[in-house]
Amino acid sequence: MLKNVAAVLLEGVHPFELGVVCEVFGLDRSDEGLPVYDFAVASAAARELSTHAGFTITTAHGLERLEEADLIAVPAGHSYVNREFPDDLLASLHRAVDRGARILSVCSGVFVLGAAGLLDGRNCAVHWKHAQELAIRYPRARVQPDVLYVDEGPVITSAGTAAGIDACLHIVRQEHGTEVANAIARRMVVPPHRDGGQAQFVARPLPRTACDTVGGVLAWMERHLDEEITVEQLAEHALMSPRTFARRFKEETGTTPYRWLLKQRLLLAQELLECTAETVDAIAGRAGFGNAATLRHHFLRSLGTTPNAYRRTFQGPSRALPDGGKPSRAA
C-alpha cells in the first residue's frame, strides 16, 4: 500500500508540476477519511533551488529521503531536455525500482528517467513538444507522443501540466480505489478521471466556444449507461449524421463513442463495487454490461482483475444509494 511519497527536485524546477504532486500527495485530508501520505520534497542538488518562475525553494531533505519512498515523483524543470543529471540521483532511482518502489515523471521530468535507463523498452508519455527530442536522446524508449500518461509497471510517465494530475489520480485509484481518487479530485475541482490513452490535444481548426459540440450528448450518455446505446442514437441526439458525429466525437474527446462508454461503465461498476453491497449481476446491469460474465470479461481485459477481487480490495463500508441512484463522479 502506498504510504511514503517523495518529490525530487533539480535546479530550475517548474512550480506547477511540483505543485501537482504536492496537492495530490502532500495534503492532510484525514478529516474526510482520505489517506494521508508521509510526503517530503528532496533536492538532488543544493538545499536551496531556483524555480523556473524566478523564486527559490528550500528543502529539508537530500537524496537520502528517496531510499524510504514507495513513490518518487520527478516534476518537470527548465532545460531538462538537453542537460546532464547527477549520477547519484540516477543511481537512487535505480535502487528504488530494484526494491519495488514506483517512479513518476511529470512532463520533462521524463528525461531524468531516460538518463537513468528506466525508459529502455518501455512505453512512455511526454509533452508533445518534447516527444521527438526524447525519442532521439533515448532511442530504446517507446515514446507515445499523443497520450496523457502511460503506466508501465513501476514507471509512470505523464505529459505536460494537467496530465500530471491525471497520472497522480491514476496512482491513487490503483492503490485506494475509485471512491478515494474521486474524493481527492472533487477537493481539487478537477475531472475525476481521464483515461491515460486520451489524446493530449484535439484538432480544432477554428476557435469554438467553451461548450463542445458533443457536450450535451456526453451528459446524456452518462445518464443512460445502463441502456443499449448506438452511434445512430447518439448522432440523432446531436442532430448529425452518424459519420459526422463519430468524427466530431473523436475530435473533441480523443476517443471513440464505444471506448468512452466502456470507460464510463467500468468507472461506474468500480464505484458500485466499492460503495454498495449489490450483487455483481445487479451491478453489471446498472453499469450497462448486461450480465456478470460480460462485466468480468471487461474487468479482466481493462483492469487485470475480476469484479469480486476488486471489491475485496477496495470496498469500504457499504451504503445504500438513494432511490437506486448512481454514485456521483462529478468533480
Residue 144 near residue 124 (C-beta atoms within 8 A): yes
Same-domain pairing of 35 and 136: yes
Q: Give the cell for residue 220.
A: 446524456
Query: Distance between CA 51 and CA 53 in Å, rounded?
Result: 5
Residue 224 has pLDDT above 50, yes or no: yes
Cell numbers given for 119: 525508459
Q: Cα 74 to the chain's mean position, in Å?
A: 15
Total domains in the chain come to: 2
Q: Could you tell me if residue 14 is inside a domain?
A: yes
Q: Counting runs of H as helices and runs of E as strands, what totals does the chain give?
A: 13, 10
| Predicted model pTM | 0.69
Q: Are residues 177 and 253 in the same domain?
A: no
Asked if residue 195 belongs to a domain, the reply is no
The domain that contains 179 carries what CATH number? 3.40.50.880
C-alpha span between 65 and 7 (Å, rounded): 9
Residues 47-56 have pLDDT tens digits of: 999 998 999 9
d(CA 40, CA 61): 8
Q: Are residues 155 and 94 in the same domain?
A: yes
Beta strands in 80-236 (DSSP E): 102-106, 123-125, 142-144, 149-152, 155-158
Residue 105 has pLDDT above 60, yes or no: yes
Residues 170 and 210 in one domain: no
| pLDDT over 70, % of the chain | 89
* Same domain (yes/no): 168, 208: no
In this structure, the answer to whether residues 116 and 144 fall within a common structural domain is yes
197 falls within a domain:
no
Domain that holds residue 228: 202-331
Q: Provide CB contacts within 8 A for 140, sequence distance 6+.
A: 119, 120, 121
List pLDDT tens digits, range 57-95. Answer: 999 999 999 999 999 999 999 989 989 999 999 999 999
Contacts of 14 (CB under 8 A, 6+ apart): 51, 52, 53, 75, 76, 77, 78, 107, 108
Residue linked to cell 496537492? 23
Whether 196 is in a domain gets the answer no
Neighbouring CB atoms inside 10 A of 300's CB total: 13
- Boundary (domain end) residue, out of 134, 159, 188: 188
Q: What is the pLDDT of residues 195-210, one digit of tens each?
A: 555 544 433 333 333 3
CATH number (domain holding residue 282): 1.10.10.60
Q: Phi/psi of residue 310, each to 5°?
A: -60, -45
For residue 148, what is the DSSP state?
A: S
In a domain, 193, yes or no: no
Q: Is residue 29 part of a domain?
A: yes
| DSSP three-state, residue 136 | helix
Residues 27 and 158 in one domain: yes
pLDDT at 311 over 60: yes
Name the DSSP letter for residue 203.
-
Provide CB contacts within 8 A for 158, sequence distance 6+.
Answer: 104, 105, 106, 107, 125, 148, 149, 150, 164, 166, 167
For residues 126 and 213, state if they share a domain: no
Residues 179 and 208 in one domain: no
Burial 231-267 (b: 16+ CB within 10 A, else e): eebbbeebebebeebbebbbbbbbbebeebbbbbbbb
> Same structural domain for residues 175 and 209?
no
| E strand segments, the chain | 4-9, 38-43, 48-50, 56-58, 71-74, 102-106, 123-125, 142-144, 149-152, 155-158
Q: Which of 230, 220, 229 is nearest to 288 (CA)?
A: 229
pLDDT tens digit sequence for 15-28: 999 999 999 999 99
- 6 or 325, which is more confident: 6
pLDDT of residue 328: 47
Average pLDDT over residues 288-295: 95
Q: Which of 156, 188, 220 corresponds to the end of one domain?
A: 188
The sheet with strand 149-152 has its strands ordered as 38-43, 4-9, 71-74, 102-106, 155-158, 149-152
Q: Check residue 77 and report its DSSP letter.
A: B
110 vs 315: which has the higher pLDDT? 110
Are 29 and 41 spatial neighbours (Cβ–Cβ below 8 Å)? no
Is 136 exposed, middle or buried (CB count within 10 Å of its CB: 0-12, 13-18, 19+)?
exposed
In this structure, the answer to whether residues 125 and 8 fall within a common structural domain is yes
Which of these three, 165, 188, 211, is where a domain ends?
Answer: 188
The pLDDT, as a whole number, for residue 214 is 84
Q: Is the residue at 279 inside a domain?
A: yes
Does some domain include residue 103?
yes
Instruction: Quote the pLDDT of residue 199.
Output: 47
Write down the pLDDT at residue 192.
Answer: 66
Q: Between 46 and 324, whose confidence is greater?
A: 46
In this structure, the answer to whether residues 36 and 63 fall within a common structural domain is yes
